[in-house]
């Protein structure tokens, strides 16, 4: 519209502005991803080298490796038909599984009355109801999104568990609890199913 109103320079101006905007968004999301890795490393859920700061107080390893993997994924989706829709669906599948697990854990905490010793019964009941509704809703969203992207998400999640294993070995602590092992095995099974679906052409990306 600006090009039609003022001439060719208007279209060029909008294109340059769009490039700057996309690069700014890419930088912001890249830093957010690095911050998540840094926070997990500080909590000792990832190898401690991911929390190492350089002389500028920047977690250089977290920034470096998240940049590499994000760039690799963005490059890979260029060969996917309808890359934007695929990326959005895959992102949703990757987010929904942790949301469901966190909501389920909230249900467990409320049922076990952990941390509610000094709280009124009504408060625990209210939070239990919220946790149950949240768990049910996220499970419904996973079902509504379809199995395809859940399997594809597990293909990424399964090898990422290596970082958690490395962190536990650094601490000389047991790798998995019983529930954690069940969750990990489920993710591995889903990942194998996803690879089979891709290899047989049952799922096209």
**Residue 133 confidence (pLDDT) above 90:** yes
pTM: 0.71
* In contact, 151 and 200? CB cutoff 8 Å: no
* In contact, 171 and 126? CB cutoff 8 Å: no
User: Which residue bears the tokens 């003022």?
Assistant: 6
What value does the mean pLDDT take over residues 92-102?
Answer: 84
Report DSSP state, residue 173. Answer: -
Give the tens place of pLDDT for each residue, 135-144: 999 988 888 8
**Residue 189 confidence (pLDDT) above 90:** yes
Report DSSP state, residue 119. Answer: S
């Amino acid at each position: 519209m600006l090009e039609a109103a003022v001439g060719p320079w208007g279209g060029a101006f909008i294109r340059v502005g769009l490039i700057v905007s996309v690069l700014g968004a890419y930088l912001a999301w890249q830093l957010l991803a690095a911050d998540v890795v840094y926070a997990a490393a500080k909590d000792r859920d990832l190898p401690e080298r991911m929390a190492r700061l350089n002389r500028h107080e920047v977690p250089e390893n977290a920034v470096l490796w998240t940049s590499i993997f994000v760039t690799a994924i963005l490059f890979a989706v260029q060969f996917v038909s309808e890359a934007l829709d695929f990326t959005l669906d895959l992102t949703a599948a990757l987010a929904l599984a942790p949301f469901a697990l966190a909501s389920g854990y909230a249900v467990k905490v409320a049922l076990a009355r952990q941390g509610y010793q000094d709280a009124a019964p009504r408060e625990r009941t209210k939070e239990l109801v919220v946790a149950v509704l949240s768990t049910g809703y996220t499970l419904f969203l996973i079902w509504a999104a379809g199995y395809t992207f859940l399997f594809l998400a597990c293909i990424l999640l399964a090898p990422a568990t290596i970082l958690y294993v490395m962190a536990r070995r650094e601490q000389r602590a047991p790798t998995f609890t019983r529930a954690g092992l069940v969750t990990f095995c489920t993710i591995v099974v889903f990942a194998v199913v996803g690879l089979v679906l891709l290899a047989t052409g049952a799922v096209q990306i």
